[in-house]
Structure 1
Amino acid sequence: MTPATDSPPPAPTRLIATDLDGTLLRDDKTVSERTIAALAAAEEAGIEVFFVTGRPARWMDVVSDHVHSHGLAICANGAAVADLRADGKLLTVHALEREAALHTIHTLRERAPGTSFAIELTTGINYEPAYPPFHLDPAAAVAVAEKLLHEDAPGTGAPVLKVLAHHTELAPDEFLSLARAAAGDRASFTRSSPSALLEVSGLGVSKASTLAECCARRGISPSEVVAFGDMPNDVEMLSWAGASYAMGNAHPAALAAASGRTLTNNEDGVAVVIERIIAAR
């Protein structure tokens, strides 16, 4: 099978931006040998590869062995740029202001009773007692969100990368629409989980906004970027890039935003397109 597109991306491709979960990674969270080879071939051809994900930097071990010349990753849906060659050191942070975070939390408590919250800081994740526990983060603090966001003095707390909001009964897209209508003027809302789990970033912060900054510093235009994604948190990036591919397993919003479509993550859809890009060169 080949991607459902009529022609390869416009040349020259200078940067490939790919989501991880549901996109580059297979469902078992591995990177296939074919995909590993395609990433290496892209780098050898002089094409930079950026991992662009909702994951925090500390969860990037799934791809850290496949970093080549640059080693940079955009994490937390654009809230941070990390250097994977330096143990995930954060180079850039676009924080969610605590006042906006508290406003969002109070608004969702009122509009969607039963919502529980987690707070992703530059120092790690903390969450409320009702929030599903993070087994990968056993040292997380557990307390109500307001306490987790408390600062002894303004500006003394670690920057907030994002707030996670979880609901046990609402449909995922319904929850997202509700949140955007209720507090979309104070923060950016998206989702990447199959459950009703929202990811709240600073207003205007997205994978696309930070990717655009990284590309501008390199003199790379949107037309020279090929992007891959599968969920609502990829929509802005898929719309921004000159050529973009939604995975065969993608959410309808990602399919609508992308200029093309490739195979599923389990069928190495990213590798298929990269191989075509290399062949076209």
Structure 2
Amino acid sequence: MGSVTSAIEPLPAEQPASVVPRLIATDLDGTLLRDDKSVSERTVAALAAAEEAGIEVFFVTGRPARWMDVVSEHVHGHGLAICGNGAAVVDLHDGAEEHRFVKVRPLDRAAALDVVEILRAAAPGTSFAVEQTGGLHHELAYPPMLMDAASSIAPAEKLLAEDADTVGEPILKVLAHHPELAPDDFLALARKAVGARAEITRSSPTALLEISGPGVSKASTLELCCAERGITPAEVVAFGDMPNDVEMLTWAGTSYAMGNAHPDVVAAASGHTVANNEDGVAVVIERILASL
């Protein structure tokens, strides 16, 4: 994990002073959330102040909808969040346990199976999990998730079969874990092997890849949500810390890498702020509001 200086830069020169932000898009883990997964009082206040000023806030995360309890009480206005790296848009107004899928951009079942077969050959020892709208399913060798138990355990080929018990549930993403490869090496290897069949990224400090349908990313789904509201990229301010944020930070008119960000994120963002444990998102929001 890379890091950048703790001082934040002025708003990027390419962001004209006349452009007033209409939407803030922020990642959660390593960005809005502190390392203990809490949302600080300062950050809660900054988010509320942004909404009160007429700036929409979108949580844009790799998390599944059922893990959104950390911020569900802080949603305002529209109450929408982009989950699964863009695979789903959910309404959190009724809390994380009662979320409603507003938009789903699934990974085709046959394509998912193709990717599994390719990665098994390219990186022996890889284990898989399948994230669907109804829950997580994984192989026996896949590291168990601490936040919730698997809905079922079986080989990926069985989980992705056309006659699987969960065939009616859209596939949001496939996860691939390797016990030995370095995270960035595994990502580079997988992207080269899979090519355009799927989008592959990562947000974990371990060698855990997240695989979505072609063209599905935080950026592309955020773009769809913004288009529905008549919001242009120039009117968006985005925050992130890991490779799964790169496309979003590149797309947004103004973007910030956290002080704890991966080097690829630092290179992609137009600015930077302090680390997540220092409320880097709130620091920038406060300054934006003060300039209005």
TM over 0.5: yes
Which of 147, 150, 163 in structure 1 is aligned with 2:174?
163
What code does the residue aligned with 1:263 have? Answer: V
Correspondence 1:211 to 2:222: yes
Where does structure 1 lack aligned partners over 5 or more consecutive residues?
Answer: none
What is the SS of the residue equivalent to 1:227?
strand
Distance 2:100 2:237 in 1: 26
Which of 38, 41, 45 in structure 2 is aligned with 1:33?
41
User: Displacement of 1:166 after TM fit?
Assistant: 0.2
Distance 1:131 1:157 in 2: 23
Which of 243, 256, 260 in structure 2 is aligned with 1:232?
243
Which of 20, 24, 34 in structure 2 is aligned with 1:12?
20
User: Displacement of 1:2 after TM fit?
Assistant: 4.5
Residues 50-73 of structure 1: per-residue CA shift (max 9 Å, x gap): 000000000000001111111100
What code does the residue aligned with 2:163 have? Answer: D
What is the SS of the residue equivalent to 1:30?
coil
The answer to whether the 8 Å contact 1:26/1:266 transfers is yes
The answer to whether the 8 Å contact 2:138/2:150 transfers is no
Distance 1:152 1:75 in 2: 27
Correspondence 1:3 to 2:5: no
What is the SS of the residue equivalent to 1:212?
helix
Distance 1:193 1:6 in 2: 29
User: Displacement of 1:184 after TM fit?
Assistant: 2.1
Aligned to 1:133: 144
Where does structure 2 lack aligned partners over 5 or more consecutive residues?
Answer: 1-5
What is the SS of the residue equivalent to 1:176?
helix
What is the SS of the residue equivalent to 2:24?
strand
What code does the residue aligned with 1:249 have? Answer: N
What code does the residue aligned with 1:79 have? Answer: A
Distance 2:215 2:152 in 1: 28
Correspondence 1:104 to 2:115: yes
Aligned to 1:258: 269
The answer to whether the 8 Å contact 1:5/1:261 transfers is no
User: Displacement of 1:188 after TM fit?
Assistant: 0.3
What code does the residue aligned with 2:115 have? Answer: T
The answer to whether the 8 Å contact 1:230/1:251 transfers is yes
What code does the residue aligned with 1:247 have? Answer: M
Q: Structure 2 vs 1, CA of residues 81 and 166 (structure 1 numbering), >3 Å: closer, same or farther?
A: same
Aligned to 1:272: 283
Distance 2:84 2:273 in 1: 24
Instruction: Report how many residues are paired.
Output: 280
Distance 1:156 1:205 in 2: 20
Distance 1:192 1:35 in 2: 22
What is the SS of the residue equivalent to 2:162?
coil
Aligned to 1:143: 154
The answer to whether the 8 Å contact 2:9/2:272 transfers is yes
What is the SS of the residue equivalent to 1:91?
strand
The answer to whether the 8 Å contact 2:12/2:254 transfers is no
What is the SS of the residue equivalent to 1:29?
coil
Distance 2:211 2:35 in 1: 25
Aligned to 2:52: 44
Distance 1:141 1:96 in 2: 19
The answer to whether the 8 Å contact 1:4/1:261 transfers is yes
What code does the residue aligned with 1:33 have? Answer: E
Which of 55, 63, 66 in structure 1 is aligned with 2:74?
66
